[in-house]
Amino acid sequence: MSDNTPYNPAHIAELLALYHANIPVFAKQVFNIDLSPKQVEICEAFQHNRQISVKGSAGFGKTLCCAVLVWWSLCTHDQLQTAIFGPSEATLKSTIWKELQTLHTRMAEPFRGFYEVSATRISRKVNPSTCFAEYRLASAENISAARGIHSPNVYIFADEASGIPDVVFTDALLNILIADPNPKLCLISNPSHASGFFWRTWCDPEISDQWTHVHGKMTDAPGFDPANLKAIAANYGGPTTRNYRVYVEGEFPLSDESGLIPREHVEYAVQNECFPPENAPIIWGLDPAGQGADSSVLCIRQDNKVLEFKQWNDLNPTQLAYAIKDLYERTPKNQRPVVISIDANGLGYGVYSAVKDLGLPAYECKFAGTPTRHPERYSRVRDQLYAEMADWFAGENVQIPNNAKLIEELCSVQFEDASGKIKIEKKDQIKKRIGRSPDFSDALGLTFAVSRTRYASKYNWNTKIVYDHLQTLE
């Protein structure tokens, strides 16, 4: 369109009706932008769905597409509140907000004159309080900043969603899908983390089918020359590297960079099939929780196979102890645990005491205590158990249930080398990142608290006896 073309209200209304139905036409006529097929796919997913999750490589134009969608929303909707969230102000300013400002300078008249654009807000000059877009920081420390967004039309964009704490989604942004008449929640990101809420929108069967997915690769970029792919692969370290997978293929990495347990080990254990010896002892691991959001989780493991998990909510220590007693008594005698390993820190001590008083084979494990094996390697018992659990997975001949929460927790646990000792990050850090306590992985970890040889002789009479002193006789 030419800036000199005369317009009247009826003509503008006709154009807006056309643009409302056809975003590629809007992009072409208002910004003189030809959207690529993948960008059109994103636009159509956004136009016709409430929950959209876009994962993609670097360079295929997802940020530009997101900016076009923000402007389309502002131009074709009344009573609209649009909020753009990101993990940091620097990220927002240098990416999508910069793109929004650039597009405003390219807008055809009279649309450009309809809007005021500032450093943090875009508003329609007529009724600016009922039609606007703004950016907000997504902080786990300030969840209230992500709340209070309500309007007949509420469109939320989460830019670089992989870097936004899960609690921002679970405690704030998802609420718009319940409270408002016409909400949209659009997540756009490089798939740089193998855990977290953005990962779950693609990989967690409990919620992934609620989301409309769009996957973009670098080869989807407008004008991409396939002849350059070999050079690009070399720049990213080759087609088998993590960076190539994330930034060229637009796929999630197999594991988080600082994860203790590689995702490929966990996924192999899900697909693997094991048959533990019938006489191998069964161990229960119980991670107690108080009355609240977290769950009390019991893991049942026999040798190299996790048989199942049990979960309870809102039970006090006495109620949980009786729930364990009831489960124990309902279990056939040959399938009962030789020991129930319980995290006895804090309120867990009350659970441990009650289970013990009920005559069950309770074992007191304190995650925060001094390591019981190889104290030179670990800082606390929890570090020790997670490291031993990682070794268990590395052996590959193991099997776990296809439990999305367990898988995410196992793959998201990170560690650091603290003065030569392995140190697992604190529960609060994991909870902040994935939006909940790692109850399932902790319960599995507790099954490693008792030495694997402690009950072996009692239950496995075929174990070969090893005499450590024989080398002195040679």
pLDDT digits (tens, 9 = 90+) for 28-49: 999 999 999 999 999 999 999 9
Q: How confident is the model at residue 257 (pLDDT cuts 50, 70, 90)?
A: low
Task: List Cβ neighbours of 165 (8 Å cut-off, separation of 6 or more).
Answer: 138, 139, 140, 432, 433, 435
**Got the DSSP string for 69-100?**
HHHHHHHH-SSEEEEEEES-HHHHHHTHHHHH
Is the same domain home to 291 and 175? no
267 and 223 inside one domain: no
Which of 234 and 434 is assigned the larger pLDDT?
A: 234
Q: How many residues make up the chain in this entry?
A: 474
429 domain-assigned: yes
Parent domain of 33: 9-247
> Looking at the 3D structure of the chain, how many domains does it have?
2
319/434 Cα distance (integer angstroms): 28
60 located within any domain: yes
Same domain, residue pair 281 and 424: yes
CATH of the domain at 379: 3.30.420.240
282 and 320 assigned to the same domain: yes
Mean of the pLDDT values across residues 84-93? 82
What CA–CA distances, in Å, run from 441 to 33, 225, 230, 261, 403? Answer: 49, 45, 40, 11, 11
Query: Is 25's pLDDT higher than 90?
Result: yes
Are 304 and 200 within one domain?
Answer: no
The answer on 347 and 317 residing in a single domain is: yes
pLDDT tier at 450, thresholds 50, 70, 90: confident
* Window from 26-30, 117-121, 395-399, 413-417 with minimum mean pLDDT: 413-417
Q: Indicate whether 457 pLDDT > 70.
A: no
Does 294 lie in the same domain as 234?
Answer: no
Q: What is the pLDDT of residue 56?
A: 92
pLDDT tens digits, 367-379: 888 888 888 888 8
Alpha-carbon distance of 56 to 418, in angstroms, equals 35
Q: Are residues 274 and 351 in the same domain?
A: yes
Asked whether residue 273 falls in the same domain as residue 160, the answer is no
The tokens describing 353, both together, are 């005491």
What mean pLDDT do residues 423-435 have?
79
pLDDT at 419: 58
Q: Is 473 contained in some domain?
A: no
Do the domain assignments include residue 257? Answer: no
Torsion angle in degrees (nearest 10) through CA of 338, 339, 340, 346: 170
**Contact at 8 Å (CB) between 342 and 364?**
yes
- Any domain includes 38: yes
Residue 54's alpha-carbon distances to 268, 277, 421, in angstroms, are 27, 46, 39
Same domain, 231 and 334: no
Domain closes at, from 212, 247, 282: 247
Q: Write the CATH number for 111.
A: 3.40.50.300
Confidence tier at 468 by pLDDT (50, 70, 90): very low
Same domain flag for 133 and 61: yes
- Say if residue 36 is in the same domain as residue 172: yes
**Residue 378: half-sphere exposure toward Cβ, Cα within 13 Å:** 20
